[in-house]
Structure 1
Amino acid sequence: MSREIHALTIADLSAFARALREALAQREAPPRERTAPLGHVEMLNLLSKSAGYKNYQHFRAESDAAEQVAPAPKADSELIERVARHFDERGVLMRWPAKNSLQPLCLWALWSRMEAGRIYSDAEMTALLTAWASFGDHALLRRALVSLGYAVRSKDGRIYQRIEQKPPVELSPLLRRVRRAEEVA
């Protein structure tokens, strides 16, 4: 039978030693004076409890869960290239993509340029979108930012604010690619 290895990390060795000493003292007799030796599973449970787990099974479950963390998703390089074609060498969105699958990443690029926590007036938002997109339809971009959940708009439409959220993995490579073209120009 193969043996599974589980690493035990102890943040505070002093607290661990104290908890282990107390757990051993609560037993009927110290390990050396007992007639039956301390069992393997019993020792694993004592060590696990001293480290802050309910028992050895709890420790193993936590250890297994930590090992099964999903790998970070990889960016879709084809999507990045197709979206990057819609930006010019200065990083300005030249045209709105006809394919719905490309539109969200274009909006993420615009979202990334908005300051976190800042409240924009309608005029400020229009001026920014006009500067960031050269195809002349800032209203389409404003509506898309709000409808897809990248920004929030007040009921009267006078105030806009970026909604903080985790961007897709493709945003960073897209921004690097667009900025690289910006630096070359």
Structure 2
Amino acid sequence: MSRTAYPFHSDDISLLARSLVKQWAEQTEPPGHVQMLNMLARAVGYQNFQHFRSEAEARPAIQLAPPPLVESAEPPSIGAAARKLLRHFDEHGRLHRWPSKFSEQGPCLWPIWARIPAHRTMTEREVNEYIKLGEVLGDHVLLRRELVNYKLLERTLDGREYRRLEQAPSAVGLDLIRHFASRV
């Protein structure tokens, strides 16, 4: 029987440990397998393991290939402007620094936008998870705000619901999306 692997992440391992200790103390006997899965899921903010699994299955299955051995092994179709922006991304296509030049910020958002599912209403937490898949700079809040500012993402006034705004990427943005997609 094959099993599906679900990536598990906790922003704060100390809070995770405290939650597990508290939940374990509420048990009359050591938890079983399913109980432990539920405890872990609750410790990182889900209702139970089923909730965690459904959220994990809804995330895009993007696993980018390791970096090429030769630095110049980029697809020939990528333009010079997009090639210049590659320095803001790591070898897995994740944004690792926010460009200081305003003219470079918008195009760097397109690969993150491409990871967000189309035609789907999401919570702030769900959108954050998709954004985190495309960045390692550690500021998903900045990126979420900029996606809204650049009209790539819309949100309700209360911030409860988010939707990706469908539109054609800029030429540079399309080059970046294609570049990282070709490395999958």
Q: TM-score normalised by the shorter chain: which range applies?
A: 0.5 to 0.7
1:134 to 136, 140, 144: 136
Larger Rg: 1
Q: TM-score, normalised by structure 1?
A: 0.54
Gaps of 5+ in 1: 1-74
- Indicate the SS of the match to 1:101: helix
Residues in 1 aligned to 2:101 and 2:129: alpha-carbon distance in whole angstroms: 26
**Runs of 4+ that moved beyond 3 A:** none
- Indicate the SS of the match to 2:163: strand
Q: How does 1:118-129 map to 2 (within 5 A)?
A: 118-129=120-131
Q: How does 1:1-185 map to 2 (within 5 A)?
A: 77-180=79-182, 182-183=183-184
- Indicate the SS of the match to 1:161: strand
Whichever residue aligns with residue 153 of structure 1, its letter is: R
- Indicate the SS of the match to 1:178: helix
C-alpha deviation, 1:78, in angstroms: 2.5
Percent identity, aligned pairs only, is 38
Cα contact 1:151–1:161 (8 A) shared by 2: yes
Residues in 2 aligned to 1:116 and 1:153: alpha-carbon distance in whole angstroms: 14
C-alpha deviation, 1:111, in angstroms: 1.2
**In the superposition, relative to structure 1, how do residues 127 and 167 fare at CA in structure 2: closer, same or farther (>3 Å)?**
same
Residues in 2 aligned to 1:126 and 1:174: alpha-carbon distance in whole angstroms: 21
Q: TM-score, normalised by structure 2?
A: 0.54
C-alpha deviation, 1:77, in angstroms: 2.1
Whichever residue aligns with residue 175 of structure 2, its letter is: P
Q: CA RMSD in A?
A: 1.9
Gaps of 5+ in 2: 1-76
Cα contact 2:88–2:95 (8 A) shared by 1: yes
How many aligned positions are there?
108
- The corresponding residue for 1:25 is none
Cα contact 2:111–2:173 (8 A) shared by 1: yes
